[in-house]
Amino acid sequence: MLRNTSLLFVIFLWLQLAHIAAQDTEEIVFSDNRFHAEGTYNIFANTVTLSYEKHIGMTKNQKAQILGRVGLRWRNAHNAIVRQPYNGYGLVVGTSFIFAPTKPAHFELYTGVGLEQGYRINDTNSDPFMRVFYLVDVGFRYQQPEGGLIFRTKAGLSGLGLGIGYAIPVEQQNTTKKRKKKRRK
């Protein structure tokens, strides 16, 4: 039941994303490309994620920015509470909603889904297993809209986390685009 409810929640948020992204926006300059590393801890597991984010859209009133995210994740379920400790790795795909994006400090909501392959730590005869997991996180992000360093804190289904990253500055992105146009001519 909880799994179906989580899936419906993620689908609902993605439909909202499609609706918001389709709205007209005024021209504001944001960094399009972002990279970050994140460490998460909870009583069950440690997780490290390396992610790439891409600016998708902005609400009409510019109160929220939408980012698509794809990442690689490594997880170590280690605690005595976990009946069968395991190591796993996988792919995560999701959407971040950033509220008040024109300011450096803002609230963030992330929803995602992932596929993880793992193996049991204490069982030498264990076959690898696959599982689907869902992510819903809320957090705080400090980042200049035009690019630079990113600092993140979060809490959610995967635990408490800290992250650091880098948003490619707008000037560098525009320079690269101009070079590509010159080469085409």
Count of the separate structural domains present in the chain:
1
| CB distance 109 to 96 below 8 Å | yes
pLDDT at 81: 65
- The C-alpha R_g of the chain, in whole angstroms, comes to 18
- Please give the Cα distance from 120 to 45 (Å, whole number): 13
Cβ-based neighbour number of residue 114 at 10 Å: 21
Q: What tens-digit pLDDT sequence spans the chain (185 residues)?
A: 545 555 555 565 555 554 444 444 445 556 788 898 999 887 778 899 999 999 888 887 778 888 899 999 998 887 656 677 788 999 999 999 988 877 888 899 999 999 999 888 776 667 788 989 899 999 998 988 778 899 999 999 888 999 999 988 876 655 544 444 555 55
Give the pair of three-digit tokens for residue 24: 């007209």
Whole-number Cα distances in Å, 118 to 6, 13, 33, 94: 22, 28, 30, 21
- Please give the Cα distance from 13 to 184 (Å, whole number): 39
Cβ-based neighbour number of residue 44 at 10 Å: 16
Give the pair of three-digit tokens for residue 185: 């001519």
pLDDT at 24: 44
Structural domain for 158, as ranges: 2-184
pTM beyond cutoff 0.85:
no
pLDDT at 70: 95
Cβ-based neighbour number of residue 106 at 10 Å: 18
Tell me the CATH number at 134.
2.40.160.20
| CB distance 58 to 65 below 8 Å | yes
